[in-house]
Amino acid sequence: LSDLMMMGAVPDDLRGEIWYTLSGGVNIAYAGTPHYYRELRDEFCGQQSKAQYEIEKDLLRSFPEHPFFRQGAAGIDMLRNVLQTYAWRNPKVGYCQSLNIITAVLLCFLDEERAFHTLAAICELLAPGNYCSNMIETIVDQAVFHKLMEKFHPTLLAKLDDMGMPLAALTQSWFLCLFIGYVPLALALRILDLFFLQGGRVLFAFGLAMFKQHEVLLMDQDDPTEIPVCLRQPIMNQSELYHHAMDYLSEVTPAMLRQLRNASRSSAIDSLHENTRNMVVRQIRDKHPELTYSEPELHCMYDIFHGHKRSSGQLVLSQFFSVFPKRFPVWKDRPDLYELLFRRFDANGDGLLKFSEFVKCVHAVERTGLYERVHFCFELMKTGDRDWIDRGALYSLIDAVLRLYHVSLFSATVAADLQGLVTMCVDRAERLASQQQQQQQQQ
């Protein structure tokens, strides 16, 4: 069977069964209950998922030239079923563009249930991390492919770099779509055959072969906008490209890929962190112009925040106690204030603080005037719907405000006359409040 697949001699009537078995889809099926797919569909029938809008938007774009996937055709309903059910199975992936294209091809050879399990095998066994929200393994793969281009096509890569054409901009979609839509369908099916047999290194081999096939044309280009056009030129000699790929496959060994992936992962994670940080900071500056922080200041805050992040990128109260003093240490021995701050800026009351809420929290005590700070601290001390605070809360408020100016009301270093003055003000405020209450009762 392996020899037949390497020669591209897989018969269409057996292709689906071979994919289902070699991918690991059959193992995923047997690991669950006998009717897992149908049970999962029924369990979430009629419910909305976060992925549903994106899935619906892409259904008719999946395989438009195939009559099975045109408007009103049965294939559209099957495609929707598989994609939505997988989004329920694996919320970390949900739905990623390109899964619609892969699933449409699977459905040409498999029924819904087997297509579902084969899709799960692709996302979870053959290409784990490629289709999740941060796509970290896709970034790693593109870094690895860049190193392979340095090894096998250094002159062509240097030309692309000189033209300012990022290699990943040309090749990332090849890897995500498993070359479906970028080579003739007959060749794409042969690539899928080998992908299920040999794993992800097949994609690197065909990527190198694509550049080998178009190298002469690409080297003649001076306009970077023509590079993608050249790579989409019809492949006149599919057999030649296939043989180039087999040559590269013999050189790109599993051991080589493991070594390159391990070497590339750290820089890929750093790159992902940097890109995510820049995006989040830009969004905050666009949505909240009232926050007067510069980009470098927000970058610094982002790094402090995400040094203690949960997997969801949000802080629980105990983490907030550790993170907030690093940015705002003047209240470090007033944990009661930290808890009040956390509760106030936890907008939806889920016990988690997002980065944008953290920034607003810091801004409220760090970048406002004296009156705004006093008013803010007063609001913190209030309980329920009351518009007043008692004596203990007032002392706490005054101490909180004084600490903003690096003075503690309860510190032994504070002069006794200052403490006396505060007490006198509190007493006077209480008398005035008592007098007002008596007048209201008399009226």
Q: Write out pLDDT tens, residues 348-379.
A: 888 999 999 999 988 988 888 877 888 888 88
Q: Residue 288: which residues within 8 A CB-CB, separation 6 or more?
A: 356, 359, 360
Tell me: pLDDT of 95 over 80: yes
Amino acid symbol at 275: N
pLDDT for the residue 311:
45
pLDDT at 251: 95
Q: Is the pLDDT of residue 430 over 80?
A: no
Read off the pLDDT of residues 289-320 as tens digits, 9 standing for 90 and up: 999 899 999 999 998 888 755 445 788 888 88
51 vs 88: CA distance, rounded Å: 9
Angle value at C-alpha 264, between 258 and 265, nearest 5 degrees: 90
Is pLDDT larger for residue 90 or for residue 388?
90
- Report how far Cα 66 is from the mean position of its chain's Cα atoms: 32
Total residue count of the chain as it appears in this document: 443
pLDDT band at 414, cuts 50/70/90? very low
Q: What would the 3-class secondary structure string for 108-171 be? A: CCCCHHHHHHHHHHHHHHHCCCCCCCCCHHHHHHHHHHHHHHHHHCHHHHHHHHHCCCCHHHHH
Identify the band that residue 180 occupies on the pLDDT scale cut at 50, 70 and 90.
very high
pLDDT reported for residue 412: 47
Q: Write the DSSP string, 66-106.
A: SGGGSTT-HHHHHHHHHHHHHHHH-TTT---TTHHHHHHHH
| pLDDT band, very low/low/confident/very high, at 99 (cuts 50, 70, 90) | very high
pLDDT (0 to 100) of residue 308? 56
Task: Tell me which of 383 and 203 has the higher pLDDT.
Answer: 203
At residue 154, what are phi and psi to the nearest 5 degrees?
A: -65, -40
Please give the pLDDT value at position 406. Answer: 67
Q: What is the residue whose two structure tokens read 């008692």? A: 390
Which range in 74-78, 112-116, 275-279 is most confidently predicted, on average pLDDT? Answer: 112-116
Bigger pLDDT: 206 vs 5: 206
Task: Tell me if 34 sits within 8 A of 73, measured CB to CB.
Answer: no
Q: Indicate if the pLDDT at residue 428 is higher than 60.
A: yes
What is the distance in angstroms between the CA of the first residue and the CA of the last residue of the chain?
Answer: 98
Asked if 129 and 137 touch (Cβ cutoff 8 Å), the reply is: yes
Is the pLDDT at 252 greater than 50, yes or no? yes
- Which tops the pLDDT comparison, 180 or 12? 180
Q: pLDDT above 90 covers what percent of the chain?
A: 48
pLDDT at 284: 92
Separation between Cα atoms, residue 157 and residue 142, nearest integer Å: 13
Ranges 58-72, 212-226, 385-399: which has the least confidence? 385-399
For residue 118, which of 86, 88, 90, 91 has the smallest C-alpha distance?
Answer: 86
pTM above 0.85, yes or no: no
What is the Cα–Cα distance from 301 to 278, expressed in whole angstroms?
12
How far is residue 147's CA from residue 299's CA, in Å, rounded to a whole number?
30
Average of per-residue pLDDT values in the chain: 86
pLDDT above 70 (res 101): yes
Q: Averaged over 48-69, what is the pLDDT?
A: 85
**Can you give the pLDDT at residue 331?**
84
Residue 441 vs residue 41, higher pLDDT: 41
